[in-house]
Structure 1
Amino acid sequence: MAELVYRPVVGLAHTLFKAWDLKIDCKGWENIPRTGGAVLVSNHISYLDFIFNGLAARPQKRLVRFMAKESVFRHKISGPLMRSMKHIPVDRSQGEKAYAHALASLRSGEIVGIFPEATISRSFTLKTFKSGAARLAQEAGVPLVPMAVWGTQRLWTKGHPRNFKRSHIPVTIRVGEAIQAPKDKYAGAITRHLRDRVQELLEAAQRAYPVRPTGPQDTWWVPAHLGGTAPTPEEVRAAEAR
């Protein structure tokens, strides 16, 4: 079936990246399967992560159907685009509907993109992973493909203004080898292994990142444990509780 919207949108995004002169370093894209279903799993630090996750699949000529909160599909601009690109709406009060939609997509040979942290991490560290990705992979009989992005928080994230000017910001993407999800294995154990693998990829992306903060006012995007001024996970939890 022709992708009358998705492929042009991917082309537009690629043009914008060139206009912004983003320095994109993507390694491991060959781990994304050329055919068949798979669950693509990533950390979540920016509103734009799904674009870069999808970009990693471009060399394999794959399109990723992302699970996203239902409110995005109600927006007058993003809604028609999300529906046309066959992304999957998630209404948390009716989670079983989104699960069934994602499962059908996987069984039909699609790649489904999931952020198992559910929300953007304000500390830029990994939060707890929900088990839905593992359960979907088990039930559909498809692999999990772990990946990590770094630098996207400098473009647009929670609590900070967007930076869409020609800023030469590097974005580092690392895709890991597929993880199998046998049906006879506990989903929680698969999820823990998956999170460990994403953590390894995140650390690899951070090590490969070519720039460091330029001064005291530019440390907000660096996690506290790496010497930055981003809030710690404990501080984020306390703020959310308040």
Structure 2
Amino acid sequence: MPPELTVWQRIEATLRRRRRTSGFWFGLAIAVIWPIVLWGTRLGWRGGENLPKSGGALLVGNHVSFSDPIFDIAFGTAHGRMPRFMAKAELWDVPVVKWVLGGGGHIPVYRASKRAGESFQGAIDALERGEIVAVYPEGTYTEDPEGWPMKPKSGVARIALRSGAPVIPVANWGTQDFLPADGKPKMFPRKRIGISVGPPVDLSEFAGKPLTKTTLDAATTKIMDAVLVLLEDLRGEKAPDRPPYDPAAAKKAAPGIAAPADAPAAPGTPVGEREAG
């Protein structure tokens, strides 16, 4: 879309186009949510040229708010691509929500289930159809006290290496101010939302290797390192020199102390290696 168009004009044009291709309920959800979101935020987008114009690609980002998918959809569609998110399968049992997700072509994730492998295959099938599949490897919004990415799950590397699709890193920042963990949107004053997309991550060193835990962990680390570089730039500061925050380890280290509540897996959450069987 021409760069001289405002964000509002891009979104409006995108809405008209996507209503024809993504189903009534998904189009309606976008039409209702986006004007509210854009009215209460100021969007700052970088790296749109790194989003492939065609063909399958895995969009991998950090997760700081449950509103991340809304803004990542806005970014993708304004640049000509509609991301398909991986979302927990239970959402397909919720009235209206299931129609929105189904109409948008999103991918159910069967966590801790014998059907978990279907989630991987669903993502790979979508990539082979030329779709953009969005994944948040942390599994939920970060519990890191400083807002940096948590320890990721390696399912994202399994999908990337099995599919061979390009992996596009994306950093989200500011969405946690618009929709904090308490679930109450804060639109005043208008929040600055930053999204930065980088070039494909080079995973050629892992090509042809067995998908062992060592290989998957190394590939996942490389992917998240690319996301971290983008996030540092958005935040204007360096990440602390320490391992990623591990919520499971934190709970074990502090028995009897209430840890941050486990949020349900948000759209974009991959199944873990154990769950895939």
2:143 to 122, 128, 141: 122
The equivalent residue for 1:217 is none
CA distance in 1, matches of 2:120, 2:247: 32
Shift, 1:14, TM fit:
3.2
CA distance in 1, matches of 2:136, 2:163: 18
- Percent same amino acid at aligned positions? 28
1:172 to 181, 194, 201: 194
Residues 1:73 and 2:87 aligned together: no
The equivalent residue for 2:110 is 91
Unaligned runs of 5+ in 1: 209-222, 226-231
RMSD: 2.6
CA distance in 1, matches of 2:164, 2:80: 22
Letter in 1 for 2:121: A
Shift, 1:233, TM fit:
4.1
The equivalent residue for 1:193 is 222
The equivalent residue for 1:213 is none
SS of residue paired to 1:44: coil
Unaligned runs of 5+ in 2: 1-19, 210-214, 252-257, 262-277
CA distance in 1, matches of 2:187, 2:21: 33
Shift, 1:72, TM fit:
2.3
Shift, 1:166, TM fit:
4.5
SS of residue paired to 1:25: strand
The equivalent residue for 1:218 is none
Query: How is 1:1-242 mapped onto 2 (pairs within 5 angstroms)?
Result: 2-5=21-24, 6-7=26-27, 9-20=29-40, 22-92=41-111, 93=113, 94-123=115-144, 124-158=147-181, 160-182=182-204, 183-185=207-209, 186-207=215-236, 233=245, 237-238=250-251, 239-240=258-259
CA distance in 1, matches of 2:226, 2:23: 35
Decide whether aligned partners of structure 1 residues 189 and 17 sit closer, same or farther in structure 2, where only a CA change above 3 A counts. Answer: same
How many matched pairs?
219
Letter in 2 for 1:179: V
Shift, 1:117, TM fit:
0.7
- How does the TM-score come out when normalised to structure 2? 0.71
Decide whether aligned partners of structure 1 residues 241 and 153 sit closer, same or farther in structure 2, where only a CA change above 3 A counts. Answer: closer
CA distance in 2, matches of 1:155, 1:161: 9
Letter in 1 for 2:106: H
Letter in 1 for 2:122: H
Decide whether aligned partners of structure 1 residues 195 and 80 sit closer, same or farther in structure 2, where only a CA change above 3 A counts. Answer: same
**Post-superposition CA distance 1:35-75 (Å, at most 9, x none):** 00000001111111111122221233111110011222222
Shift, 1:168, TM fit:
0.4
CA distance in 1, matches of 2:109, 2:44: 30
**Post-superposition CA distance 1:144-203 (Å, at most 9, x none):** 000111111122243x24125453011111111111434325333221111111111111
- How does the TM-score come out when normalised to structure 1? 0.80
SS of residue paired to 2:124: helix
CA distance in 2, matches of 1:71, 1:166: 33
State whether residues 70 and 90 of structure 1, in contact with CA within 8 Å, keep that contact through their aligned partners in structure 2: yes
Decide whether aligned partners of structure 1 residues 161 and 50 sit closer, same or farther in structure 2, where only a CA change above 3 A counts. Answer: closer
CA distance in 1, matches of 2:86, 2:247: 28
CA distance in 2, matches of 1:137, 1:164: 36
State whether residues 201 and 226 of structure 2, in contact with CA within 8 Å, keep that contact through their aligned partners in structure 1: no
Decide whether aligned partners of structure 1 residues 71 and 202 sit closer, same or farther in structure 2, where only a CA change above 3 A counts. Answer: same
The equivalent residue for 2:15 is none
State whether residues 142 and 181 of structure 1, in contact with CA within 8 Å, keep that contact through their aligned partners in structure 2: no
CA distance in 1, matches of 2:183, 2:72: 22
